[in-house]
């Protein structure tokens, strides 16, 4: 992963994308207890969450902006999987009861304004009692000088501290630049305020990431 300030970090590898339920961290397992009804899995990757829920009898649609990720999902047995970037999410009102954004996928909102715009859209495409299950990571829980300097760099240019501008590299392959948003709990509350949603509870992990259970007001 390359950040726009020149910082590089290594991936934890592909293994996590194919992990089974028994290998998941406790906060992810806890989050699964809140899933209900028809499920939209945004940024489904290789489909580990969607496949688990499908086996449990849920009606699940997995979407991702990567055609190859969707191909992998289908090869692994996910019955409903489509290439749909988050900004192109557009379904009929009341189509889903749960919106899943695990694996840090709250980050796909990209920015404060885009998050609020998409949250309002999610409000329209979900049922009255719908929930969003979203995972992120508090950017302030670090003592790495490079990250702390990046927070300042972001604030100077009018961005949120944890609004990353990154691209993914693998050997000779280089992806496009994109924004990825990581936020504290207080920042998440500010983003959600006035969108028709409210935080019902947080599920903390042992290492830093946390999951928010978000319901309609």
pLDDT at 43: 98
User: What is the rounded average pLDDT of the residues 9-37?
Assistant: 95
pLDDT at 12: 80
User: What is the rounded average pLDDT of the residues 124-150?
Assistant: 97
pTM of the model as a whole: 0.96
How close are the terminal C-alpha atoms of the chain, in Å?
37
pLDDT in tens, 66-77: 999 999 999 999
Backbone torsions φ then ψ of 9, nearest 5 degrees: -145, 150
> Hey, what CATH topology would domain 38-142+182-216 get?
Rossmann fold (3.40.50)
> Residues of the chain with pLDDT > 90: what percent?
97
pLDDT at 165: 98
pLDDT at 11: 85
The torsion region of residue 50 among left (phi > 0), alpha (psi -120 to 50) and beta comes to alpha
pLDDT at 13: 83
**CB under 8 Å, gap of 24 or more: what pairs does 13-19 form?**
14/46, 17/45, 17/46, 17/48, 18/46, 18/48, 19/48
């Amino acid at each position: 992963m390359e950040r726009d300030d020149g910082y590089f970090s290594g991936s934890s590898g592909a293994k996590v994308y194919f992990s089974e339920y028994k290998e998941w961290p406790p906060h992810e397992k806890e989050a699964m207890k809140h899933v209900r009804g028809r499920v939209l899995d945004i940024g489904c990757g290789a489909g580990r969450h969607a496949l688990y829920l499908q086996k449990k009898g849920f009606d699940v649609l997995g979407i991702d902006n990567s055609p190859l990720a969707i191909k992998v999902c289908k090869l692994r047995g996910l019955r409903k999987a489509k290439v749909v970037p988050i900004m192109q999410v557009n379904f009929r009102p009341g189509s889903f009861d749960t919106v899943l954004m695990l694996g840090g996928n709250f980050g796909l909102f990209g920015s404060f304004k885009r998050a609020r715009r998409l949250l309002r859209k999610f409000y329209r495409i979900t049922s009255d009692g719908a929930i969003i299950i979203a995972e992120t990571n508090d950017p302030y829980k670090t003592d790495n000088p490079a990250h702390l300097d990046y927070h300042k760099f972001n604030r100077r240019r009018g961005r949120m501290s944890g609004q990353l501008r990154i691209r993914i590299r693998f050997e000779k392959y280089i992806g496009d630049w994109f924004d990825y948003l990581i936020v504290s709990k207080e920042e998440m509350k500010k983003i959600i305020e006035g969108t028709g949603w409210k935080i019902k509870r947080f599920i903390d992990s042992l290492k830093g990431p946390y999951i928010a259970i978000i319901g309609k007001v």
